[in-house]
Amino acid sequence: MTWEKLRKIIENVKRMFKNDVEEVFLEKKIAKIIVKKEKLLELARYLRDIHQFDHVKGVTGVDLSRLKEGGGPYIEVIYHVGSLDDPELNDSILNVSVKLDIDNPVVTSLYSIWPSVEYHEREVYEMLGVNFQGHPNLKRLLLPEYWMDLPPLRKDYKVPGRD
């Protein structure tokens, strides 16, 4: 039941945004929308107002530079969005993702639309080096204060114990 409703929502989104949106839909595994950087804010506002997606469960950052198929010099930032007000969408997660350049990853922050992304975006900032513009308090969260190395989750950073 839910996967059909998600499919309808993705069809609506594709109709509204035409060329700026790509979809990845594997039944029962993942439902993802890849959108271009400039249209992210508009898509988020559309999802919140019209389809009642009201909170974000988390934000993930993936460094795609060593992936063999579908990789490249990109960092992908994924927002896992859920809905509590709409009872039919209660058991589904919609993933909205953006692909950024690895040399200069900059994107607008979604704090003005969904306030629950505050701490997740801070963590992606310190672990991967992504700069969120418009975030009220972009500082270090989990790493120690004197960390001067590369951001740890990048594939260039090698853990010092094994070598």
Partner 1 sequence: MVLEEKKKIEVYDTGGPRLTFSYGPQHPGTGHFRMIVTVSGDTVVDLEPDPGFVHRGEEKMAEYKTWITNIPHLERPAILDAAGMVIPYCLTVEKLIDVEIPERAKYLRTIVAELDRIASHLYWFSLYGIFLGHSTMFLWCVNDREYILDLSQSITGQRFTHAYYVPGGVRNDAPKHVPKNLVKEFKLYYSRMLGREPREDELSEDFKKYILAVVDFMDLRLDHYYQMFFNSEIFIERTKNIGVLKREDAIRLGVPGTTLRASGVKYDTRVNDPYDAYPYLKFNIPVGTRGDCYDRAMVGFQEIRESLKIIQQAVEQIPDGPIKLKQHPIVIRVPKGEAIARAEAARGEILYYIVSDGTDKPYRLRMITPSFRLLPALKHLTIGSRIADIPPIYWSLNYWPVEADR
Partner 2 sequence: MTLEQFNLIRRIPKKTSIFGYTLAYSKNILEAIVEEVVPEDEREEAIKEYGLGKPLKIIKGGETHYILQVIKNNSLIRYLVNWGRMASLWPAHLTTACCSVEFGAVSSSRYDPERFGWIPATGSLRQSDVLLVEGTVNAKMAQRVRMIYDQMPNPKWVIAMGACAISGGLYAKDSYNVIQGLNDIVPVDVYVPGCPPRPETLFQGFLLLRDKILKSRLE
Confirm or reject binding of residue 69 to partner 2 (CB under 8 A). no
What's the CA gap between 26 and 127, in Å, rounded? 28
| Contact indicator for 1, 16 with CB cutoff of 8 Å | no
Q: Smaller CB distance to partner 1: residue 20 or 118?
A: 118
Q: Smaller CB distance to partner 2: residue 136 or 161?
A: 161
Q: Which does 55 bind (CB under 5 to 8 A by kind): partner 1, partner 2, none?
A: partner 1
| Contact indicator for 30, 24 with CB cutoff of 8 Å | yes
CA angle 55, 10, 25 (to 5 degrees): 95
Q: Smaller CB distance to partner 2: residue 103 or 163?
A: 163
Torsion angles phi and psi, residue 16, rounded to 5:
-75, -40
Q: Smaller CB distance to partner 2: residue 106 or 142?
A: 142
Considering only residues 103 to 162 of the shown chain, the ones binding partner 2 according to CB under 8 A are 143-145, 152, 159-162
Confirm or reject binding of residue 58 to partner 2 (CB under 8 A). no
Total chain residues near partner 2 (CB under 8 A): 8
Q: Which does 78 bind (CB under 5 to 8 A by kind): partner 2, partner 1, none?
A: partner 1
DSSP string, 69-110: SS--SEEEEEEEEE-SSSGGGTT--EEEEEEEESSS-EEE--
**Least distance between partner 2 and beta carbon 158 (Å):** 9
